[in-house]
Structure 1
């Protein structure tokens, strides 16, 4: 990615730095037009060695236009280890995600969120234990970005 060094540095800082004594879970949004490089930037940062070592648990899921909560939850569970899950109930999967994050400083990337419903379906899975966890969303939709709140990185 040419010319995105400033955005990458800011994103790295948002993911790893704490403001004052606050270690609250933080939601970070990468917002921009389709095809501008939101996912590329997120992948580059997600795979950096200092990010890998900073978080106890990292997972990546793609939401897209036809979001499927079950598939997203399975992606989050599978991501770190490549495990396979045969659970049908979304509530059980959501509970598994929540339990897998408990007590860990995690980085979750939800890529290509198209709707507020997709975000609303996922938000309760992410517990806040004041340990510096981060949830990074990429979206082109400003309505989704507004519903998430907190930090913004526009491309």
Structure 2
């Protein structure tokens, strides 16, 4: 499975070790993904076609949707697809989640992380960061790393609302230096001292590059890529949520038909959200594994025709059909809303 358990970003920018969230990466590894398999080829085609045909030969795509809807996962599926691997080089995955070791200035932290992903020398990065305007030095260095390349950058879990991140398709006028006509309609005239004005200036236009953004705030993603470039994730189909639950719970209806009694609970509790379907499955698995082995729960013995005994006869009181397993689902959902910030009122983002 690839749907990640992740806390919201704290309002206080200071992060202690207890609040640390492990950074994501662009690899699905051996994870099994359920759903979204029709959307991904469409998005890949759209990304490649628009990065080549847009007026500035650059594509910014925003993935938005409910909390726990699988935004990171679909970005990983796009990032790891064969067509994307073939078309874009370099490809870098930049997790925007704050880490304890980050620079106090989020702009410096993000620019440094992007350069590190591109393989820039650490000493050069630190040297640029120590300049009078460290952000300007890092953004100009980022531009030099990417210019002339058909790059793909994924910005996962964007959270900072600073205008520095807005309008990633903004370019600047090289017509004087390169003697090229200015064809772009979204162009800013930038001098050497203006690099720090926007992250967009570190993303060269005109070479077929692309950026994919997802984050907790739909409004923020829209400000970064433009409303017309948003892709809204809809809730998963019931069968996909059911498959996620079974995978996380480690159950097989073919071996235990009574597990089908839980289909309605999963449909109502998950509401099409892969995160909640997975969490419900994990809660069920953990609950079943932690049940004490009482006399009633132990395998029953039954005499067979030859006078021997047979074992492994399940006790109905411990099967999935028992009403006693429904309480942990209700409990886990209420606890989850408080801990991870998931609720029906805010699952569609802001």
TM-score (norm 2): 0.40
Tell me the CA shift for residue 82 of structure 1. 7.3
User: 4+ residue runs of structure 1 moved beyond 4 angstroms?
Assistant: none
Q: 1:135 to 1:115 in 2, by over 3 A?
A: same
Corresponding residue for residue 141 of structure 1: 217
Structure 1 contact 31–138 (Cα < 8 Å) conserved: yes
Give the structure with the higher percent strand. 1
Residue 151 of structure 1: which of 229, 232, 236 is its match? Answer: 229
Q: How does 1:31-50 map to 2 (within 5 A)?
A: 31-50=64-83
1:95 and 2:174 are equivalent in the alignment: no
Alpha-carbon distance between aligned partners in 1 of 2:54 and 2:159, rounded to the nearest angstrom: 30
Tell me the CA shift for residue 60 of structure 1. 1.9
Q: What is the DSSP-based 3-state SS (H/G/I as helix, E as strand, rest coil) of the residue aligned with 1:116?
A: coil
Cα-to-partner distance string for 1:48-78 (whole Å, 9 max, x where unaligned): 2321221122222122368812221122112
Q: What is the DSSP-based 3-state SS (H/G/I as helix, E as strand, rest coil) of the residue aligned with 1:145?
A: helix
Alignment RMSD: 2.5
Q: Which sections of structure 2, spanning at least 5 residues, go unmatched?
A: 1-32, 100-104, 167-197, 234-350
Q: 1:111 to 1:132 in 2, by over 3 A?
A: same
For these two proteins, the number of residue pairs brought into alignment is 154
TM-score (norm 1): 0.84
Structure 2 contact 96–159 (Cα < 8 Å) conserved: yes
Corresponding residue for residue 27 of structure 1: 60
Larger Cα-atom Rg: 2
Greater RCO (Cα-Cα under 8 Å, separation 6 or more): 1
Tell me the CA shift for residue 119 of structure 1. 1.7
1:16 and 2:61 are equivalent in the alignment: no
Q: Which sections of structure 1, spanning at least 5 residues, go unmatched?
A: none
Structure 1 contact 7–153 (Cα < 8 Å) conserved: no
